[in-house]
Chain A
Amino acid sequence: MNPTIDKDLESVVIRFAGDSGDGMQLTGTQFTNSAALFGNDLATFPDFPAEIRAPIGTLAGVSGFQIHFGSTRIHTPGDMSHVLVVMNVAALKANIKNLVKGGVIIANSDGFDSKNMRLANVPEDKNPLTDGSLDEYDLKIIDVTKITRAALTDSGLSVKEIDRCKNMFVLGLVYWMYNRNMESSIAFVKAKFKKNEAVMNANLKIMQAGWSYGETTEMFANRYNVAPAKMEAGVYRSIMGNQAAALGLIAASVKSGLSLFYGTYPITPATDILHELSKYKNFNIKTFQAEDEIAAICSSIGASFGGSLAITGSSGPGIALKGEAIGLATMLELPLVIVNVQRAGPSTGLPTKTEQADLMQAYYGRNGECPLVIVAAQSPGDCFNMAYEACRIALEHMIPVFLLTDGYIANGSEPWMYPQSKDLQEIKVEFAPEKTNTDDKFMPYMRDEKLSRPWALPGTKGLEHRIGGLEKQNITGNISYDPNNHEQMIHLRQEKVDKVANYIPLQTMDNGPETGDLLILGWGGTYGALKTATTILRGEGLNVSHAHLRYISPFPSNLGEILKGFKTVVVPELNNGQLVKIIRDKYFIDAIPYNKIQGLPFMSTEVVNKIKEILA
């Protein structure tokens, strides 16, 4: 019997890192699912290169997956990892700086041979496994490749196929280390390879081999238990942001009774929304992969004219191309949801890295005075809520709505206490009724109390009318070059956006009282890091509160009041200062920007240090 001692931990951060082809994303996702099913709270951070198969063994090709799971509430994937699994020397080199001192390194020694050393630009005589440079860590060296090949000699698979099973060894070993049951991953492998029994059996055998390796070798002195988290009672599932956004859109379609049309063009990191939606045609979900970003939004505008819940989705560069058409939708006053899964820019930027630098683009990025509604999701699960809200507002107010998410929450996952459809807010849609008396003309720009105009669908008798991008006369919708009418219409379109404030929730405090020394005002995907930082700061007795914006245009009507209650307002953002400019402009307060623009999410410790510095 192995003399391991079981220890209890509150939370652990594990980072799986290897070559893009090593299957680290899959390994991480599998561990995540079983941790979620076990009842841990968790947050994940897939961190991968833009290239699908970057040159093997190089730093550029390192793909990582970080998971933070615990028996307490978890809001970020963790600043530093406790366990680092590395399949090669490049993965070690890229990730060692974020491993806590004394942390565990599980290294696949085969990935530290001279070829890998050369590819990672590590001098031959500086093999980190042997040169003592890792003495401060708990280093476990395992020749995963050799063990895998030996175990599968009789499998009938080629060496290439055998080597693809390596990640399962790691998964099995980590399952053993954290005393997890492998059931969900076994079921996954069985389902995934049901058509190829040899591969299925090989994967299962190697996963088991990883587990047994932990059990039988005396390499590991301890095994760890991380108890289920105390979370709000309810039924949970694991969810990723893009998945949640797709489900939110589908829910809005079903609840509004409208068929959904999603016109889009593939772009990282938004494409998974298309992948998700295209699976669910049986919910009357229509997806259209257009020839370009412009056709994507234009086809959606056509569908909206025809009475569909029309949505287009993209990321920054694609949104830039859609700008003119967003202006058209604003003039047409038709419902349209524009999803921007933000990534680091400008231009192509860092396609797989996260950023919040498209807020100004959403706010102002069109010609002329072109205001619209903007909402932002704050976590993977929240993508559902805000996608639903974006649709509700677009449909009920006949207006284009931006939904901002970002690469971090789009690909990150968390346990999600999902809603029941009956509990979702109703979405009321009315089409203009047909008209038999043709003497009184139909007025396509007549407005109701929300200032929204009737949605008159082609095919409806007596409502024939023309809309377009030229300025129109209020009420009649006829082309008008009248100077005063133009000014009135500019004001009306702004007022229409402003009025949405009456139909959204008031701003609440996430943590801390409504007045105090310092308010951390965040928006979007930084929620988890800011929440964790605020908890730490308040735990140290500092008078700090946190409010997180999900409605950005218009702002909740009580935001000004909240801002007035604090001596200092700090706005942390993953950009060069965008929300802060709007806050300063609108509320005339000396809000302090705090910015990080590295394609990476905030670490809570960074925020904690910054806030202390400001308070000092």
Chain B
Amino acid sequence: METTVEKLTSKDFSSDQEVRWCPGCGDYSILKQVQTILPDLGRPKEEFVFISGIGCSSRFPYYMDTYGMHSIHGRATAIATGLKATRPELSVWVITGDGDSMSIGGNHFIHMFRRNPDLNVLLFNNQIYGLTKGQYSPTSEQGKVTKSSPIGSVDYPFNPIALALGADATFVARSMDRDPKHQQHVIKRGYEHQGTSLIEIYQNCNVFNDGAFEIYTEKASKKENILLMENGKPLIFGANDDKGIKLDGFKPVIVNLADVSANDLWIHDETDLVKATILSRFYDDPTHPDHKPRPFGVFYVNNNKETFDNLFNKQMEHAMENGMGDLDKLIAGRETWVVN
């Protein structure tokens, strides 16, 4: 039954705490978009819980007038799993960064996907450690020169989307700080998904890694370099929407729309794991001449994997079917004797 909820506004979701990210930080946009969509979700605000780890992004819960926990580095996913398991009726969100989720919290990150609790995970990816003032992160490109890698990092980067798909995530999407509408749309879809939703958001750190995603966000280069995926629609991109992606067997090929019939293009199917996996590998260096466009939108949705919280609580319901056990019987055990 639908209960009427008093209509909230984005202001209802801002706390009285002063927002302390650097001026110009991409985090402001994400905060704004979340505060914008929450009133539309039709839930009382006491049902929302935001749990974060450590890092710039993880200050997020302090700015939301909801329940929140700013926890310890990398562990928000584990804390959120415990909360969701025991309070499945709450809307639980995880706010994390690239270092928080994929370095120190890597283990919990993959096990969360494996279990599939109904959590909404916003991964602020800025490809740098910001709060510690600029060291390379697990998503920094190889060769990255930072304070901790003065002649360039030798580490290969993680591909978060591929990592999540590899761990059997059931909702995997990418958005960017500079496109509010796209963000709102994708975050909403993530919220609606039953299961763990990963939303990677490219977020510019204008102090320690400025312009990391410029090529995907600036007007001049954007259309040529991003691929906006829409379910059921052909994969088209280019300055004049003049290019498309075609599958040659399992091999994606960039084609000119002038040369190919639209029917031959790759039609995006969010439920196709193989295709999502291919798309997740559109991850080349954008300066490379033959690079593929970077996909944004929903890569993959799997509605057939039951959530952890459902399974966990179904077992409980089944166990409690005949009511609560008898504590005194339990304490006494099977064999007792009397001493007079």
Contact = CB atoms under 8 A, between A and B. Distances in A.
A424 to B, nearest CB: 9
A470 B70 contact: yes
A562 B301 CA distance: 67
B312 A294 contact: no
A383 to B, nearest CB: 13
A560 B31 CA distance: 55
Nearest to B108: A295
A458 B86 contact: no
A222 interface: no
B168 to A, nearest CB: 14
Interface stretch (A233-241, A482-490, A502-510, A523-531): A233-241
Contact of B72 (A259, A325, A460): A325
A39 B70 contact: no
A33 to B, nearest CB: 7
B340 A233 contact: yes
Nearest 7 CB-CB pairings of A with B: A468-B70, A302-B82, A299-B82, A281-B319, A298-B78, A302-B83, A295-B78
B292 interface: no
Contacts of B49: 305, 458
B131 to A, nearest CB: 12
A306 B87 contact: yes
B79 A33 contact: no
A587 interface: no
Given A298-B75, A302-B51, 4 more contacts: A238-B335, A300-B82, A459-B89, A470-B70
Contacts of B79: 298-299, 301-302, 305
A464 B90 CA distance: 13
Nearest to A231: B339
B86 A308 contact: yes
A239 B69 CA distance: 40
A302 B78 contact: yes
Contact of B82 (A263, A324, A384): A263
Contacts of A466: 15, 17, 61-62, 64, 67-70
Given A294-B78, A306-B87, A306-B90, A463 B107 contact: no
Interface stretch (B193-201, B246-254, B326-334): B326-334
Contacts of B70: 466-470
A420 B83 contact: no
B24 to A, nearest CB: 22
Contact of A286 (B78, B316, B340): B316
Nearest to B315: A281
B68 A418 contact: no
A265 B67 CA distance: 28
A177 interface: no
Given A261-B82, A298-B78, A461 B44 contact: yes
A86 to B, nearest CB: 29
B322 interface: yes
Contact of A281 (B65, B71, B316): B316
Given A325-B72, A464-B46, A468-B61, A237 B86 contact: no
A312 to B, nearest CB: 10
A251 interface: yes
Contact of B83 (A184, A291, A303, A419): A303
Contact of A237 (B64, B71, B85, B332): B332
B80 A302 contact: yes
Interface of B: 15, 17, 44-47, 49, 51, 54, 61-62, 64-72, 75, 78-87, 89-90, 107-108, 111, 312, 315-316, 319-320, 322, 324-325, 327-328, 330-333, 335-340
B46 to A, nearest CB: 5
Contacts of B324: 254, 282-284
Contact of B46 (A233, A328, A462): A462
A400 to B, nearest CB: 14
Contacts of B316: 281, 284, 286
Interface in A287-316: 288, 290-292, 294-295, 298-303, 305-308, 310
Interface residue tally of chain A, by bracket?
A: 35 or more
6 contacts: A237-B333, A306-B86, A307-B87, A421-B331, A466-B64, A478-B17
Contacts of A464: 45-46, 65-67
Contacts of B87: 306-307, 457-459
Contact of B71 (A33, A458, A469): A469
Task: Find the residue from B15, B17, B65, B325 having the highest chain A CB count within 10 A.
Answer: B325
Contacts of B319: 281-282
A251 B78 contact: no
B305 to A, nearest CB: 18
Interface string A110-139: 000000000000000000000000000000
Contacts of B64: 466
Contacts of B62: 466, 468, 479
A232 interface: yes
B82 A301 contact: yes
Task: Find the residue from B45, B90, B333, B336 having the highest chain A CB count within 10 A.
Answer: B336
Contact of B335 (A37, A259, A284, A328): A37
Nearest to B308: A288
A282 B111 contact: no
Contacts of A259: 86
B18 to A, nearest CB: 10
A188 B333 CA distance: 14
Given A281-B315, A458-B46, A458-B49, A235 B325 contact: no
